[in-house]
Amino acid sequence: MQNTDTLFHVIDHKQFNRSILDNLCNLTTVIRTKAKSREGLLALRSLLADKRAMLYFTQPSTRTFLSFNTACQILGIQTSEIRDPSTSSEIKGESLLDSIRTFSSYVDLIVMRTLEEGIAATSANLMNSIERPVPIINAGSGKDQHPTQALLDVYTLEHGFEKRGGIDKKVIGMMGDLKRGRTVRSLSYLMKHYHNVKLVFIAPPAFQIGEDIKKELDAHEVEYLETETLEDVLPELDALYVTRMQDEHDTHNESKAVDFSRYSIGIEELKLLKQDAILMHPLPRRDEIHPDVDKDPRAMYWRQERNGMWMRAAIIAKIFGIEASIQNI
Ligand code: ASP
């Protein structure tokens, strides 16, 4: 495997280029394959057994938390966690940055998710200024960024299109609350690294993709289309990435003002989707994908969820520079 740039903090999409993306996808597959045998799993578990990680997740999380925790276990890293800031010294008035600095005294890696934007970036800056910096991984920052989700989504797309030349030249639909969906935002940014991808943003006008993303896509000549009507575009999609309404970010019940039921997939909608298309969702879902769809071979979201654990193991492995040791297992 070609070794590309190193990785320390993982904060946002700007850090990734095509060679790192390809490198991380290859590493993910290697780890996933090696972990299939007991010997492989035990060997992986010995690689970072001298490391400790702090999972600081003050915004609710099921998949991201569990997949990071499991990814650490796969590589032998011991974890501690804070999920409720009222149990930490923040309640005594300690600043979040002082708390982060304290974590760095005890662990070798900090993975963090916060409701507010920009905290992971500020924490990484703090680390860069202290004597014993530890890497910070952004596991979701408000409605802005979710870079590790974007990486696992890239992996799921690449894998799903394995026999069809990967992501290049595909038409990828993104549907739902695109304005406040950080997964869609982060994934859209990464699409500029693939050749001739066309993005189709399907959302009610009030929840369409942000101007900042469109500007970035324009600057990189990525073709995109915005529409309100799923049925008009469904037959041309190679992948459809469905998301839920992000109403935790409502300031005055704005999500209640739209009929979001139009932005959902059931058996009828599946009939319009190409036979070899893939259907993704970062989860949790509400009514956007009917459970009957789960048994369709195009439904990829449960695999996407598992891919998260493997990709996060690959990210951590790259941060600690153990790619060659993994290859040698
Ligand atoms: N789990 C994803 C996130 O944390 C998607 C979602 O919550 O809708 O952003």
Are 24 and 311 in contact by the 8 Å Cβ rule? The answer is: yes
Three-state secondary structure string covering the chain? CCCCCCCCCECCHHHCCHHHHHHHHHHHHHHHHHCCCHHHHHHHHHHCCCCEEEEEECCCCCHHHHHHHHHHHHCCCEEEEECCHHHCHHHHCCCHHHHHHHHHHHCCEEEEEECCCCHHHHHHHHHHCCCCCCCEEEEEECCCECHHHHHHHHHHHHHHCHHHCCCCCCEEEEECCCCCCHHHHHHHHHHHHCCCCEEEEECCHHHCCCHHHHHHHHHCCCEEEEECCHHHHHHHCCEEEECCCCHHHCCCCHHHHCCHHHCCECHHHHCCCCCCCEEECCCCCCCCECHHHHHCCCECHHHHHHHHHHHHHHHHHHHCCCHHHHHCC
Which pLDDT score is estimated for 4? 57
Which pLDDT score is estimated for 3? 47
C-beta of 142 in contact with ligand 1 (< 6 A): no
* Annotated domain spans of the chain: 13-146+308-327, 148-305
Which of 113, 179, 244, 318 is the catalytic position?
Answer: 113
C-beta of 180 in contact with ligand 1 (< 6 A): no
Q: Which CATH number is 148-305 given?
A: 3.40.50.1370
Shared fold status for 13-146+308-327 and 148-305: yes
Q: Which CATH number is 13-146+308-327 given?
A: 3.40.50.1370
Which pLDDT score is estimated for 223? 98
Q: Which two tokens stand for residue 22?
A: 């390809």
**Number of the ligand 1 atom closest to the C-alpha atom of 183:** 9
**Largest Cα–Cα separation, the chain:** 59
Pocket test for ligand 1, best of 113, 183, 288 (most atoms within 8 A of CB): 183
Which pLDDT score is estimated for 1? 42
pTM (whole model) above 0.85: yes
Q: What is the pLDDT along the chain (329 residues), one digit of tens a residue?
A: 444 578 999 999 989 999 999 999 999 999 999 999 999 999 999 999 999 999 999 999 999 999 999 999 999 999 999 999 888 888 888 999 999 999 999 999 999 999 999 999 999 999 999 999 999 999 999 988 999 999 999 999 999 999 999 999 999 999 999 999 999 999 999 999 999 999 999 999 999 999 999 999 999 999 999 999 999 999 999 999 999 999 999 998 999 899 999 999 999 999 999 999 999 999 999 999 999 999 999 999 999 999 999 999 999 999 999 999 999 99
